[in-house]
Structure 1
Amino acid sequence: MELGSAVQFLENRAILVTGATGFLAKIFVEKILRVQPNVKKLYLLLRAADTMAAVQRFNSEVMAKDLFKVVKEKYGEKLNSIISEKVSVVAGDVSCENMGVKDSHLLDQMHREVELVVNLAAITDFYERYDVAIGINTMGPTHLLDFAKKCQKLKVFLHVSTAYVSGERDGLIQETPIQMGETLNGRCGLDIDRENEIIQETLKNLIVENASDESITLAMKELGIQRARTYGWPNTYVFTKAMGEMLLGKLRDDIPLVILRPTIITSTYKEPFLGWVEGVRTIDSLALGYAKGRITCFLGDPKTITDVIPADMVVNAMIVSMVAHADERGCSESIYHVGSSLSNPVEFSWLQDYALHYFTKHPWIAKNGKPVVVGKVTVLSTMDSFHRYMAIRYLLPLKGLEILNTICCKYFQRRCDEMNRKIKFVMKLVDLYRPYLFFKGIYDDMNTEKLRRAAKEGGIETELFYFDPKAISWEDYFMKAHLPGLMKHVF
């Protein structure tokens, strides 16, 4: 790889970014504005009915965030003119042809100017409606690829996927493409066109049956899980992301394609400041349940490696990978795992210890104003032991409460409802996260390591575009950045 200054590479570039209100996209946009205000144009695609609604979303869901306080301090009053000149907010929807952009003149302008296409649009909910997830995660990338093929100055197409397209594989998982129709369980017959037909047939039958909106939503969510597990994927999110990769690999022609596969993305390690995070992300839902006293036991192997990577490192890897592969027409697609399981692994038990120490010192304050006292979580190593624990700890007492409730006491009704909520909460988490609680895979990052070395040797500003997880002290990071960041910015 022949690399040079990443800051210079970004200068005078026109960049299209999809999913612009998402967690990672915000960090990407902030980084570009902070290190290279002389970018030519940032076209930010937002889901909105029209430009006015898109601009309102941009102002309230992007620029209003604490994330931008550093860039606001850096530029002061000049920032407004920089945003006005450099940022073009585009109303659209990647699940539609032409990305849902209705203004033909704007499309023509983007075709003439855009050099870097960055796809960050995604539905990340494990249990999303199948039609919604396949529209954005699978068909969305193809609509964006169609746009990219018409860009006269295109240098690279960057698609951010997820490492967990690997499903529940164990051992060393390599940075290799997913072939069209490939499945994780060896079952034949995966056809993306057929998957879309199944969705339409199911929706048609539900409408004929006069199903309610709520029933249709539930049916679509269950269909997604069922179709994913038919071919070996654990949930709708990773299944639809895997199919998106298949289509990009098949349809790319000679487009320079980079596929970045991050693992579990956590709060920022260093920039623009440590600990910024948004939304309750994968492992954070466990931290939230634990802090509130709702999780006293959980299922998993304490020795399981939990692969986490700070968001700013992911963004830096995105930028450096674009520098590395710009103008590589005719080459094979480049795939990068961005994670820590190989070079600086985190054990599940460490996360438990960090949470215990942090929430003992900084307890959650309950609605009654009293601090929630947390203790060591009972970790159960098999589903059978988990079901026995739930029966003894919750289900048998619940049966007793239900009997007492029939005698007419409202107190027992409240206790029944409270215990029911706790059981449903824990069982839902277990069902969604079970594949990852016993995950035995390690994500090979040989390509990413080569990229890091090339960046160091090739003139990339590594102090600005760092993405080496070996530099992280996990105890310091979780105790001083991630958990405090969750408490401040999310919880």
Structure 2
Amino acid sequence: MVSEGAHIMSDLNTSMTGDSVSEFYNGKTVFITGGTGFMGKVLLEKLLRACPKVSKIYLLIRPKKGQEARERLQQLLCSPLFDPLRRDRPADLRKVEAIEGDITQPQLAIGATDRQLLQRTVNVVFHSAATVKFDEKLKLSVTINMLGTQRLVELCKRMDRLEALVHVSTAYCNCDRYEVKETVYAPSIGPDQVTQLVEALDEDLVDSLTPRLVGDRPNTYTFTKALAECWLKENREELPLVIVRPSIVLSTIYGPLEGWLDNWNGPTGIIAAVGKGLFRTMLCDPNKTADLVPVDMVINLMIVSAWRIGTTKSKDLPIYNCCTGVTKPIKWKDFIALCFKYTRKHPFSEVSWYPDGTVTSSRLVNTVNRYLLHWLPAYMIDAIVWISGGKPMMLRIQDKLTKAAGCLEYFTTQEWKFDDENVRNLVGTLTEKDKKEFCFDVAKIDWENYIQNYVIGIRRYIFKEDAATLPKSRRNISRLYWAYTALKVISVLCMWRFLTLRYAPLRQLWSNALRILIHLVRMLPFV
């Protein structure tokens, strides 16, 4: 029960900072980079739904595969995520406009007219455009994650009405240290030095130098994100800048669609393969903390952090670690167990084998398991398909899964302590209404319910499977369970029989066990 004093303090905080979060966006113009990505879509939908008086939202979109920016915007708005808005408030979707551009190009490849429009009207900027590929080449990663950020900042400094700039980083940009505070850590090599080096050398030479430049970090993504933070701190000048650092981002926890997601990133691709019966072993320390966070909690924090700096006019650089490991931890073993539980309760269609498997912190054991449980069945299935005139594909699938699992191994075999004091303090500045509407308090996560919706979301939004197919899928998973159980029993008996043939004591034990079993059966009343 919340005390009266807590209510008074919350109201006092709000009166000190100005309008409520939603009211702050009344009449505001927002500019979003990365709007076509997973987080960008959730951000766009939340702004339209929870801040109904927002004036205009511009999305930076590059032409792609013959589609113009406006065509890509219309395709984006056809996502199921926008179905409730399209049904209840279709006019609000017309507030969204595409700005043709490219984060990798000078001046973001934005035309002169559009640049003037943005400079004259934009109040809030959300910068989430980035390459999130862990194995991206350093030259491209620097171009997008660093140079793209620098070009955006140049544009922001010319915006006459800018009140907030929210930069989306990652909690793992400082994964070379165990304890990560909400502060910017200086990298071992300066961002300008890396930029000059990458621009001066050809790509092959940059590739050969990458391991030395990246150092203790596992990939170019975390490295360039750290460089971008450092550059922002040194060059922000008077910009009202905020940095938000999410950990591993999964599906939505709240509305409008619980469990919504639209990509295979992070653990999602692995869990999808587990549910299909294609993936059964992974290198992972089951007792380490899995720092997972729902995407809409990250988005709510971004929206609120813009409100906070826009209303307080702070000259500080607020940094928010949007993580769960300290406040609401879950171990990898518990996450995996719940994923198995719900891939069996809500099975996917066309499952190859019963969802099961193991995680181990031993590389040797994982390698042996991978050859026995992944590659050997893949070779056998592909051989049968090839002989029958079909197109083999299991080896290709296992190759992709192995690479995806390899990218995650660094994060599943270690853990970090991400301090989130700034996030918890920010919660305290909100009214009860805003705490509910823009919830980013990870202490409220019910992991079991959330992971169940996550698995259902993979089924519904990744595999596009209707709920009406569940009865058939459950009958299939039941058959696979009995087949899997029978196979395990037969395997154990065969192994035991093999051992008893070679060793006399075991053979005698086998015979005695059989005699006792037969004797017990004969004593039963129906015999």
Letter in 1 for 2:96: V
Query: How many angstroms does 1:389 deviate by?
Result: 3.6
Query: How many angstroms does 1:374 deviate by?
Result: 2.6
**C-alpha contact 1:291 1:372 (8 A) present in aligned 2:** no
- Structure 2 unmatched runs, 5+: 1-12, 464-527
* Secondary structure of 1:461 counterpart: helix
> In the aligned structure 2, how far is the partner of 1:391 from the partner of 1:488?
31
- Corresponding residue for 2:364? 384
Which of 170, 173, 188 lines up with 1:165 in the alignment?
173
> In the aligned structure 1, how far is the partner of 2:55 from the partner of 2:423?
28
Which of 98, 111, 121 lines up with 1:89 in the alignment?
98
> In the aligned structure 1, how far is the partner of 2:170 from the partner of 2:295?
13
Structure 1 position 286 matched with structure 2 position 270: yes
Which of 161, 172, 192 lines up with 1:153 in the alignment?
161
> In the aligned structure 1, how far is the partner of 2:159 from the partner of 2:293?
32
- Corresponding residue for 2:417? 442
What TM-score do the two structures reach when normalised by structure 1? 0.83
* Secondary structure of 2:100 counterpart: strand
**C-alpha contact 1:51 1:90 (8 A) present in aligned 2:** no
Letter in 2 for 1:156: A
- Corresponding residue for 2:255? 271
Greater Rg by CA? 2
> In the aligned structure 2, how far is the partner of 1:237 from the partner of 1:376?
31
Which of 432, 439, 456 lines up with 1:466 in the alignment?
439
Query: How many angstroms does 1:398 deviate by?
Result: 9.1
Query: How many angstroms does 1:50 deviate by?
Result: 12
Structure 1 position 315 matched with structure 2 position 296: no
- Structure 1 unmatched runs, 5+: 184-188, 207-218
**C-alpha contact 2:281 2:373 (8 A) present in aligned 1:** no
What TM-score do the two structures reach when normalised by structure 2? 0.78
Which of 201, 216, 239 lines up with 1:255 in the alignment?
239
> In the aligned structure 2, how far is the partner of 1:133 from the partner of 1:289?
28
Query: How many angstroms does 1:253 deviate by?
Result: 0.8
> In the aligned structure 2, how far is the partner of 1:32 from the partner of 1:396?
49
- Corresponding residue for 2:483? none
Which of 71, 93, 96 lines up with 2:85 in the alignment?
71
Deviations 1:431-474 (A, max 9, x none): 21111111221211000000011124xx7622211111111110
**C-alpha contact 2:242 2:305 (8 A) present in aligned 1:** yes
* Secondary structure of 1:282 counterpart: coil
CA distance change for structure 1 residues 450 and 28 in 2, over 3 Å: closer, same or farther? Answer: same
**C-alpha contact 1:254 1:330 (8 A) present in aligned 2:** no
**C-alpha contact 1:363 1:373 (8 A) present in aligned 2:** no
Query: How many angstroms does 1:130 deviate by?
Result: 2.6
CA distance change for structure 1 residues 437 and 413 in 2, over 3 Å: closer, same or farther? Answer: farther
* Secondary structure of 1:462 counterpart: helix
> In the aligned structure 1, how far is the partner of 2:296 from the partner of 2:376?
47
Which of 155, 178, 183 lines up with 1:176 in the alignment?
183
> In the aligned structure 2, how far is the partner of 1:224 from the partner of 1:238?
16
Structure 1 position 487 matched with structure 2 position 495: no
Structure of greater relative contact order (alpha carbons < 8 Å, 6+ residues apart): 1
CA distance change for structure 1 residues 276 and 225 in 2, over 3 Å: closer, same or farther? Answer: farther
Which of 216, 223, 247 lines up with 1:232 in the alignment?
216
Query: How many angstroms does 1:167 deviate by?
Result: 2.0
> In the aligned structure 2, how far is the partner of 1:298 from the partner of 1:156?
42
CA distance change for structure 1 residues 392 and 173 in 2, over 3 Å: closer, same or farther? Answer: same
**C-alpha contact 1:305 1:347 (8 A) present in aligned 2:** yes
Structure 1 position 478 matched with structure 2 position 479: no
Pairwise CA RMSD of aligned residues? 3.1
Query: How many angstroms does 1:282 deviate by?
Result: 0.2
CA distance change for structure 1 residues 138 and 107 in 2, over 3 Å: closer, same or farther? Answer: same
> In the aligned structure 2, how far is the partner of 1:317 from the partner of 1:251?
24
CA distance change for structure 1 residues 67 and 302 in 2, over 3 Å: closer, same or farther? Answer: same
Deviations 1:406-439 (A, max 9, x none): xx99549999x76744653453234211111112
- Corresponding residue for 1:215? none
> In the aligned structure 1, how far is the partner of 2:29 from the partner of 2:138?
33
**Larger helix proportion, structure 1 or 2?**
2
- Corresponding residue for 2:71? 56
Structure 1 position 115 matched with structure 2 position 123: yes
Query: How many angstroms does 1:375 deviate by?
Result: 4.5
> In the aligned structure 1, how far is the partner of 2:378 from the partner of 2:65?
51
- Corresponding residue for 2:486? none
CA distance change for structure 1 residues 93 and 478 in 2, over 3 Å: closer, same or farther? Answer: same
What is the aligned residue count? 448
- Corresponding residue for 1:143? 151
Percent sequence identity is 26
Query: How many angstroms does 1:149 deviate by?
Result: 0.6
**C-alpha contact 2:280 2:373 (8 A) present in aligned 1:** no
- Corresponding residue for 2:26? 11
- Corresponding residue for 2:6? none
> In the aligned structure 2, how far is the partner of 1:176 from the partner of 1:385?
39
- Corresponding residue for 1:197? 197
